C-alpha cells in the first residue's frame, strides 16, 4: 500500500499527508529535553486527578496551592476540557493506573451527557461539580464549550479501542448546535442566558476563537458556513520590529486554540500562518517586558518575564502587553512586578528556549512563591512577596497541554485525527508550505 493511501485510510488530512511526504512534520527546531517539562506535566495531572470529582469527573475551577479544595463546588467546563486531554496524556505516559484513568474519562463523559444542564448542546461556563446545574447566573459560554469539546474530541480519538468513550464523544460533539449560537448573524455569539438571551458581543475578531470555528465548520450535524472563517477581523499590530495579527488582549488568546490545533507549517486562504503569528506574539510579549516594563521594574529580565490574564490582590485582571493592559506599570500602587507563569508556559511550542528559561528560573529560584503541589502558581510578585493562594484549572491545563504538544504533539495528533476536524481544516483551505526561516 502506498504511504499516501495508507494515511488517507487512517483519516489523516491531505495537508498533514503532504507535510509528512515532504518531511516537514518535524519542522520545529530540535526538541529541548528538559526534565522540568515532565515534572510540570506530572504535577498538572495531579491537579486534574485530585481536584475533579471521581464520580462526575468535573474539574474544580481552582484549588488552594497546597492541594486543599476550594470550598465552593464550582467547576469550570474549560478546565474539564483541558482535564480530559490531560487524562489521555497521562494514560499514554503511564502516570497512573490506566484502567482507573479510563473509568474517570467514562464517568466524565457520562455525566456531561446525562446530568449536565445544557441548551442545544451548549454548556454553562461554570457549573456545580456534583449536580451539573448552572452556577448562579452564569452564561452559556460558546468558547468554554469549545474548549470542553476539544477535550471530548481528543479522548474520543485517543481511546478509540473503548467503544463507549468513542460513542459518547461523538454524541456530545454532534449535539452542539453551532448554527443556533450564531443567532442569525455571520458570527458565533459569545453566549446566552435564559434571562437576557444572546450576549450582544460575538466572536468577530482574531483571538482564541479559532478552535471554536474549526469545531463549528467541521460539525457533522450543525455546521456553520465556511465563510464564517473569512469574515472575522484580523487587525495588524506592530510593536518594535514585530508585526502580527493582534487585537489588544492578553497573551492567552494566542495560545488556547493551539492547545488542540496544530497550525504549524499551514496557511489559510489569507496566507496566514497562525502558529508563526503566535511565535511573533510571544516574542513581542517578551520584548515588551524585557525592554519596556523593565524600566518600571528592573527585575523583568530575559529569563523572568510574562503576564497574562490572572488574579491579582485586587481581583481578576485581563492584563499584559503589548500594548499596556491593566496596571502592571505600577500606575496603581503595588501592581508593578507581577509574574504569571502560564504566560511563558502556554507558549513553549512557539519559543521553546526562551520560555523554558523562564520556567526553569521560577522553578529553581522562586520555588517558595512560584511552585506548588500542582505546578506553577497562577500569579506572584517577588517585589511584594504576594502569591495567589489559588491554583487555577485553565492555567494548569494550558501549561500541561502545550508542554506535551512541544514534546510529542500528542494532543495535536489526536484532536486533528478526528475526521470532522480534518474536514474542517480542508474546507477552510489550509495548505502546507515551507516557512521562510
User: Of 328, 327, 280, 278, which Cα lies nearest the Cα of 306?
Assistant: 328
pLDDT in tens, 372-411: 999 999 999 998 899 999 999 999 999 999 999 999 999 9
Q: Do the Cβ atoms of 127 and 58 come closer than 8 Å?
A: yes
Of 60-69, 141-150, 245-254, the range with the lowest mean pLDDT is 60-69
Question: What is the predicted pLDDT for the residue at 3?
Answer: 32
pLDDT bin (cut points 50, 70, 90) of residue 327 is: confident
CATH topology of domain 3-432: Glycosyltransferase (1.50.10)
pLDDT bin (cut points 50, 70, 90) of residue 330 is: low
Question: What is the predicted pLDDT for the residue at 331?
Answer: 66
Q: Do the Cβ atoms of 361 and 375 come closer than 8 Å?
A: no
Task: Compute the mean pLDDT over every residue in the chain, rounded to the nearest whole number.
Answer: 92
Of 314-318, 389-393, 411-415, the range with the lowest mean pLDDT is 314-318
Residue found under cell 475551577? 61
Query: What values do phi and psi take at 8, rounded to 5?
Result: -65, -45
Residue 311's contacts (CB-CB under 8 Å, 6 or more residues apart) are 317, 378, 379, 388, 390, 392
Question: What is the predicted pLDDT for the residue at 18?
Answer: 45
pLDDT in tens, 1-54: 333 333 344 444 544 544 444 444 444 557 877 899 999 999 999 999 999 999
pLDDT in tens, 51-79: 999 999 999 999 998 888 888 999 999 99
Residue found under cell 496524556? 89
More confident residue, 225 or 28: 225
The Cα angle at residue 218 between residues 216 and 223, in degrees rounded to 5: 55
pTM for the full predicted model: 0.92
Complete DSSP assignment for 9-39: HTT--HHHHHHHHTT-TT-SPPP---HHHHH
Q: What percent of the chain has pLDDT over 70?
A: 91
First to last CA, the chain: 35
pLDDT in tens, 186-212: 999 999 999 999 999 999 999 999 999
Q: Do the Cβ atoms of 313 and 332 come closer than 8 Å?
A: no
| Residue 168 pLDDT > 90 | yes
Amino acid at each position: 500500500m502506498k504511504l499516501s493511501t495508507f494515511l488517507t485510510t487512517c483519516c489523516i488530512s491531505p495537508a498533514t499527508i503532504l507535510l509528512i511526504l515532504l518531511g516537514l512534520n518535524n519542522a520545529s527546531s530540535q526538541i529541548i529535553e528538559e526534565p522540568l517539562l515532565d515534572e510540570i506535566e506530572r504535577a498538572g495531572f495531579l491537579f486534574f486527578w485530585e481536584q475533579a470529582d471521581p464520580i462526575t469527573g468535573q474539574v474544580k475551577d481552582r484549588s488552594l496551592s497546597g492541594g486543599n479544595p476550594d470550598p465552593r463546588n464550582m467547576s469550570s467546563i474549560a478546565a474539564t476540557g483541558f482535564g480530559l486531554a490531560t487524562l489521555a496524556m497521562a494514560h499514554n505516559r503511564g502516570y497512573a493506573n490506566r484502567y482507573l484513568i479510563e473509568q474517570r474519562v467514562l464517568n466524565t463523559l457520562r455525566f456531561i451527557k446525562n446530568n449536565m444542564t445544557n441548551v442545544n448542546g451548549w454548556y454553562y461556563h461554570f457549573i456545580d461539580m456534583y449536580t451539573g446545574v448552572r452556577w448562579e447566573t452564569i452564561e452559556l459560554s460558546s468558547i468554554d464549550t469549545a474548549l470542553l469539546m476539544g477535550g471530548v474530541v481528543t479522548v474520543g480519538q485517543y481511546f478509540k479501542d473503548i467503544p463507549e468513550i468513542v460513542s459518547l464523544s461523538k454524541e456530545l460533539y454532534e449535539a452542539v448546535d453551532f448554527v443556533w449560537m450564531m443567532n442569525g448573524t455571520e458570527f458565533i455569539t459569545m453566549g446566552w442566558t435564559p434571562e437576557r438571551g444572546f450576549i450582544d458581543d460575538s466572536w468577530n475578531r482574531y483571538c482564541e476563537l479559532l478552535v471554536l470555528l474549526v469545531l463549528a465548520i467541521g460539525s457533522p450535524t450543525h455546521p456553520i458556513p465556511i465563510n464564517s472563517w473569512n469574515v472575522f477581523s484580523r487587525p495588524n499590530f506592530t510593536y518594535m520590529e514585530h508585526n502580527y495579527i493582534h487585537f489588544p488582549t492578553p497573551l492567552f488568546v494566542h495560545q488556547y486554540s493551539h492547545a488542540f490545533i496544530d497550525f504549524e507549517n499551514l496557511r489559510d486562504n489569507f496566507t496566514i500562518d497562525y502558529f508563526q503569528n503566535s511565535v511573533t506574539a510571544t516574542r513581542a510579549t517578551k520584548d515588551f517586558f524585557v525592554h519596556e516594563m523593565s524600566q518600571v521594574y528592573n527585575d523583568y529580565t530575559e529569563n523572568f518575564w510574562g503576564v497574562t490574564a490572572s488574579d491579582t490582590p485586587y481581583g481578576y485582571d485581563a492584563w499584559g502587553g503589548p500594548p499596556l493592559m491593566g496596571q502592571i506599570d505600577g500606575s496603581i500602587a503595588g501592581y508593578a512586578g507581577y509574574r504569571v507563569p502560564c504566560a511563558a508556559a502556554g507558549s513553549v511550542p512557539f519559543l521553546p528556549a526562551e520560555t523554558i528559561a523562564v520556567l526553569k528560573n521560577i522553578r529553581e529560584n522562586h520555588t517558595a512563591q512560584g511552585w506548588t503541589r500542582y505546578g506553577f502558581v497562577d500569579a506572584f510578585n517577588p517585589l511584594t512577596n504576594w502569591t495567589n493562594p489559588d491554583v487555577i484549572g485553565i492555567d494548569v491545563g494550558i501549561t500541561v497541554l502545550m508542554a506535551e504538544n512541544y514534546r510529542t504533539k500528542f494532543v495535536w495528533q489526536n484532536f486533528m485525527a478526528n475526521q470532522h476536524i480534518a474536514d474542517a481544516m480542508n474546507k477552510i483551505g489550509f495548505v502546507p508550505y515551507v516557512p521562510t526561516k
